[in-house]
Amino acid sequence: MGVSDPNPRVGCIVGRADGRVLGRGATQRAGGPHAEVVALAAARAAGHATQGATAWVTLEPCAHFGRTPPCSDALVAAGIARVVVGSADPFAAVNGSGLARLRAAGVEVDLADAAFAAAARELNIGFFSRVLRARPWVRMKIAASLDGRTALADGRSRWITGAAARADGHAWRRRASALLTGVGTVRADDPRLDVRELTTTLQPTLVVVDTHLGTPPAARLFEVAERAVWIYGARVDGARAAALAARGAELRRLPAAQGGVDLAALIGELAARGVNELHVEAGARLNGALLAADLVDELLVYVAPKLIGPGRAMAALPPLPALEAAGAWHFVDVQGIGEDLRIVARPPGRAQF
């Protein structure tokens, strides 16, 4: 999860009708082999013949030459007799041409049942979002107490949730293309904002919203090896910019809006740069601005069984004229993680694109 971007996440199993698995594969880093090729290679390495076998693939095999040759051709060359596909690929260079190429070669092609298709699409919700909406799937993670506080009034927040919830949060970080935070969080908490609680072969890019380039060059976020840091501000020149660039940051200018950078323009820019899933871990101000602009597709909220009293809010939102004006969300998933509760919520219909 999270290593194939900007390509979709694809898994493939090559097997027989009697249930024997000949090979498994998953798409590797961009430019590396796709899931079908990995699965076929695994079958060959195990000494299995693939002639007449079935391939189960979560996403339509590609039919074009990009960084790698067409996967549909690899399946045909391997003698695969049947391909079961979880979901069609919305990318214009594929979008049905992979299935057509297989059928033209005499391969039986079946679409998976509705449950498998839904799971396959959910696996690639960020890819589908970027291709079909020209914006990444934006997930906002918040850890809070029962009374909705993310920290004490003085900012202390370690730790509101337990170890299991924190490890689970790192798993969500790992699946993201990029993490987004604000300069306020960087200055107040000096976080690394990396994947630490579990192993990963690739750290997600860190995106910092920093209108006036207030990120300290000595911030701990620069200590993460082989991790890209993109800083977006209204001005990205001068001595501050030079100091941040010297630490390895890439600085990009965005138009100003409402006292900060234009967040809608930022989301569009990240989609253009191949970000499929954007994982937000920020403070109340940036959280509120993203929510108020309707730029958040999913809330990932960990609720700890604690009462804090006066403290920091989850999001700084403008006052409502009436309760009926409150934004409507629905629960997608609710489950216990250790001693805490994890809630996944979305605006109604948000995933229907």
List, run by run, the mean pLDDT of 10-residue segments along the chain (353 residues).
83 94 89 90 96 96 78 95 93 84 95 90 95 97 97 89 97 97 96 92 96 97 97 94 98 93 98 98 97 98 97 94 92 98 97 91
Number of compact structural domains in the chain: 2
- The one catalytic residue among 36, 60, 277, 298: 36
Residue 289 shares a structural domain with residue 213: yes
| Rg of the chain over all Cα atoms, to the nearest angstrom | 22
Contact 331, 157 (CB under 8 A): no
pLDDT at residue number 1: 62
Residue 112 shares a structural domain with residue 153: no
Whether residue 2 is contained in a domain is answered as no
277 as an active site residue: the answer is no
Residue 117 shares a structural domain with residue 162: no
End-of-domain residue from the set 123, 158, 183: 123
Please report, for the domain that includes residue 139, its CATH number.
Answer: 3.40.430.10
Residue 218 shares a structural domain with residue 163: yes
Which tens digits make up the pLDDT trace of 40-53? 999 999 999 999 99
Residue 153 shares a structural domain with residue 116: no
Range of the domain at 158: 135-316+326-346
Please report, for the domain that includes residue 27, its CATH number.
Answer: 3.40.140.10
pLDDT at residue number 68: 73
pLDDT at residue number 215: 98
Amino acid in position 254: L
Whether residue 188 is contained in a domain is answered as yes
Whether residue 185 is contained in a domain is answered as yes
Residue 168 shares a structural domain with residue 242: yes
DSSP E strand stretches across the chain: 11-15, 21-26, 54-57, 82-85, 108-111, 137-145, 149-152, 178-182, 205-209, 229-233, 250-253, 256-257, 260-261, 277-280, 298-304, 311-313, 330-337, 340-346
What is the model's pTM? 0.92
Whether residue 352 is contained in a domain is answered as no
Residue 60 shares a structural domain with residue 88: yes
